[in-house]
Amino acid sequence: MTETLPMAGAAANVNLAGLTKNDYRGAPTTLCQGCGHNSISNQIVSALYEMNIVPEDIVKFSGIGCSSKSPTYFLNRSFGFNSLHGRMPSIATGALFADHHLKGIGVSGDGDSASIGMGQFKHIMRRNVNMLYIVENNGVYGLTKGQFSATAEKGLQLKKQGENLYLPVDICMEALASNATFIARSFAGNPKQVKELLKAALAHDGIAVLDIISPCVTFNNQDNAYHSYAWGKDHEEPLHEISYIAPRNEIMLERELEEGGTCEVAMHDGSIIILKNLEKGYDPSSRIEAMRVMEEAQQNNWLVTGLLYLDTRKPTLTEMFDLVDTPLNRLTEVDLRPERAMIDKVNALMF
């Protein structure tokens, strides 16, 4: 009998998890053509495929908005929960506590996170929940027809809204103030950087906030708007070229932060993030540096992108609790019922 050999092309498309890129896709998008959110979904598909992550090990979360519809457009094989407006963090916290073996990917919008969900946003940061928290930031409420969001720049003029009178909320500054352990900013018009930052964020143990300027082509893409493709392309100032290197045996911890040098950051899973500094040394482990760079960017109207801040030392939410290895949602009644002697002991303590 002749042996059937796999087709060379097909084999080449299979990653180390034995999956093709199609295994990471979702339903066809219903968002507007050219919407930045679509470009981000495509990079999520590529990043997970290239990292050989098994889709069933991921759980997706979102709130309400065009951005929050995005999880439908990637990872068909993963469970997901499309929650209420601004409430994604509490749903994610509960689900990831119930199964600490899963990694969370949350997609939110600037309206969802910086207005109605601001309180929840701040608290998921300080709890260091193990998830990637993406804010697809377009400066407007896209889904409800383009009202100003809290991240819109002061003075923005929109045909149907008039002039925005208020100073904007900066997602990354809010994340830093709330003790997030991984903070990065990117731009949907720079897909290569988006993908590398997604990989680095997924390799992080703890909360990884990725603020991605993601133009709304229908309501806020005129060339002078800070969340447009044209403005982003003209004003982007990457801090470094970032590359993600998958886990390997030899971990290089040496760091060179002198001008034009590279900085290597070792992640818990053995992967490495290489930051090639473009102009001057930037140390992402310094909160003060991160704040300075963001402040400087605000003063000069620069769209600073890259890894702004990283702290790999803080325990995640579930590490702070003495959990059994079996996820809580898989414990059976037998596992949970205390022995008679223990019940008697507890009762004796109480009365």
Ligand X SMILES: Cc1ncc(C[n+]2csc(CCOP(=O)(O)OP(=O)(O)O)c2C)c(N)n1
Give the residues lining the site for ligand X (CB under 6 A). Answer: 64-67, 85, 109-112, 116, 136, 138, 140-144, 149, 216
Q: In the bound complex, what is the minimum distance in angstroms from residue 154's beta carbon to ligand X?
A: 18
Q: Looking at 73, 97, 187, 219, which residue binds ligand SF4 (CB under 6 A)?
A: 219
Contacts of 56 (CB under 8 A, 6+ apart): 77, 78
Q: Which two tokens stand for residue 193?
A: 């950087």
Choose between 159 and 340: whose C-beta lies nearer to ligand SF4: 159
Residue 35 interacts with, from Mg ion, ligand SF4, ligand X, none (CB under 5-8 Å by kind): ligand SF4
Q: Looking at 44, 59, 64, 66, which residue binds ligand SF4 (CB under 6 A)?
A: 66
Choose between 171 and 216: whose C-beta lies nearer to ligand SF4: 216
**Contact call for residues 130 and 88 (beta carbons, < 8 A):** no
Dist. CA 250–CA 231, nearest whole Å: 41
Residue 218 interacts with, from ligand X, Mg ion, ligand SF4, none (CB under 5-8 Å by kind): ligand SF4
Residue 85 interacts with, from ligand X, ligand SF4, Mg ion, none (CB under 5-8 Å by kind): ligand X
Q: In the bound complex, what is the minimum distance in angstroms from residue 143's beta carbon to ligand SF4?
A: 6
Choose between 137 and 316: whose C-beta lies nearer to ligand SF4: 137
Interface with ligand SF4 includes 137 (CB under 6 A)?
no
Interface with ligand SF4 includes 31 (CB under 6 A)?
yes
Q: In the bound complex, what is the minimum distance in angstroms from residue 10's beta carbon to Mg ion?
A: 40
Strands 162-163 and 157-158: antiparallel
Residue 58: count other Cβ atoms within 10 Å of its Cβ.
24
Dist. CA 266–CA 247, nearest whole Å: 9
Cα dihedral angle (168, 137, 71, 65), rounded to 10 degrees?
60
Dist. CA 239–CA 287, nearest whole Å: 15
For the sheet containing 303-310, what is the strand order? 79-82, 58-62, 103-109, 131-137, 207-213, 182-187, 303-310, 236-238
Stretch in the footprint of ligand SF4 (CB under 6 A) among 29-37, 98-106, 147-155, 303-311: 29-37
Q: Tell me the backbone φ, ψ of residue 247, rounded to 5 degrees.
A: -55, 140
How far apart, in Å, do the first and last CA atoms of the chain sit?
78
Q: Looking at 106, 142, 206, 284, which residue binds ligand SF4 (CB under 6 A)?
A: 142
Q: Which residues bind Mg ion (CB under 5 A)?
A: 109-111, 138
Residue 217 interacts with, from ligand X, Mg ion, ligand SF4, none (CB under 5-8 Å by kind): ligand SF4
Interface with ligand SF4 includes 216 (CB under 6 A)?
yes
Q: In the bound complex, what is the minimum distance in angstroms from residue 151's beta carbon to ligand X?
A: 8
Q: Tell me the backbone φ, ψ of residue 184, rounded to 5 degrees.
A: -140, 155
In the three-class reduction of DSSP (H, G, I as helix; E, B as strand; rest coil), residue 291 is classed as helix
Interface with ligand SF4 includes 218 (CB under 6 A)?
yes
Q: Tell me the residue nearest to ligand SF4 as measured from the CB.
A: 142
Dist. CA 297–CA 235, nearest whole Å: 10
Positions that interact with ligand SF4 (CB under 6 A) = 31-32, 35, 37, 66, 138, 142-143, 216-219
